[in-house]
Chains A and B, each alone.
Chain A
Amino acid sequence: MGTHNHQTIQPHNHTAMTIIEIKELFKTYNDSEVEVHAVNGVDLNIEEGEFTAIVGPSGSGKTTLLNMLGGLDQPTSGNIRIDDTDLGKLKSSQLIDFRMKNIGFVFQSYNLIPVLTAKENVEFVMHLQGRPKKEREARTMQLLEAVGLKGREDSRPSKLSGGQQQRVAVARALASKPKFVLADEPTANLDSKSTENLLNIMEELNKQEKITFIFSTHDQRVVNKAHRVITLEDGKIISDNRKK
Chain B
Amino acid sequence: MRTNLKIAWRNLWRNKRRTLITVASIFFGVLLSAYMTSMQEGSYEKMVDMVVKYYSGAMQVHHENYWESKSINDTFEESQDLNQLILANEEVDFVIPRLESFALASSEELTKGVMVVGTVPEPENRLTSLKNNVRQGSYLSDNDQGLLIGEGLADYLRLGINDTLVMISQGYHGISAAGKYPVRGIIKHASPELNKMIVYMELKNCQEFFSANNRLTSLVVNIKDNNELEKSLRKLRETLNSPYSIMSWQEMSPEMVQQIESDRAGGIIMKAVLYIVIGFGILGTIMMMIAERRREFGVMIAIGMQRYKLATILFYETLFIGMIGALSGLLISIPLLSFQAQNPIPLTGQAALVMEDYGFEPYMFFSTEPSVFWHQALTVFLITLVIALYPIFSANRMKLINALHA
Given A113-B296, A114-B296, A72:B7 Cβ within 8 A:
no
- Contact, CB under 8 Å: A96 / B304: yes
Residues on B with beta carbons closer than 8 Å to the beta carbon of A93 = 306-307
- Contact, CB under 8 Å: A100 / B307: no
Residues on A with beta carbons closer than 8 Å to the beta carbon of B7 = 113, 115-116
- Contact, CB under 8 Å: A125 / B304: yes
Q: Of all chain B residues, which has the CB nearest A117?
A: B10
- Contact, CB under 8 Å: A128 / B305: yes
Asked whether A105 is an interface residue with its Cβ less than 8 Å from the other chain, the reply is yes
Per the CB 8 Å criterion, the residue count for chain B at the interface is 20
A118-142 CB mask vs B (1 if < 8 Å, else 0) is 0010001101110000000000000
- Contact, CB under 8 Å: A100 / B401: no
Given A67-B401, A114-B14, A127-B3, A96:B305 Cβ within 8 A:
yes
Asked whether B301 is an interface residue with its Cβ less than 8 Å from the other chain, the reply is yes
Residue contacts A-B, CB under 8 angstroms, 30 given: A70-B302, A72-B400, A72-B401, A73-B401, A93-B307, A96-B301, A96-B307, A99-B302, A100-B303, A100-B305, A103-B304, A104-B303, A105-B299, A105-B302, A107-B299, A111-B299, A113-B7, A113-B299, A114-B14, A115-B7, A115-B14, A120-B3, A124-B3, A125-B304, A127-B3, A128-B303, A128-B304, A128-B305, A172-B303, A176-B304
* A residues in contact (CB < 8 Å) with B: 67, 70, 72-73, 93, 96-97, 99-101, 103-105, 107, 111, 113-116, 120, 124-125, 127-129, 172-173, 176
Asked whether B264 is an interface residue with its Cβ less than 8 Å from the other chain, the reply is no
Report the minimal beta-carbon distance from A98 to chain B, rounded to whole angstroms.
8
B1-18 CB mask vs A (1 if < 8 Å, else 0) is 001000100110010000
The dominant DSSP class at the B interface is helix
Residues on A with beta carbons closer than 8 Å to the beta carbon of B304 = 96-97, 99-101, 103, 125, 128-129, 176
Could you tell me the distance between the alpha carbons of A231 and B300 in the complex, rounded to whole angstroms? 30
Could you tell me the distance between the alpha carbons of A67 and B10 in the complex, rounded to whole angstroms? 30
Report the minimal beta-carbon distance from B134 to chain A, rounded to whole angstroms.
69
Could you tell me the distance between the alpha carbons of A128 and B7 in the complex, rounded to whole angstroms? 14
Q: Of all chain B residues, which has the CB nearest A176?
A: B304
Could you tell me the distance between the alpha carbons of A77 and B364 in the complex, rounded to whole angstroms? 75
Q: Of all chain A residues, which has the CB nearest B9?
A: A115
Report the minimal beta-carbon distance from B405 to chain A, rounded to whole angstroms.
10
Asked whether B32 is an interface residue with its Cβ less than 8 Å from the other chain, the reply is no
Asked whether B404 is an interface residue with its Cβ less than 8 Å from the other chain, the reply is yes
Residues on B with beta carbons closer than 8 Å to the beta carbon of A127 = 3
Residues on B with beta carbons closer than 8 Å to the beta carbon of A104 = 303
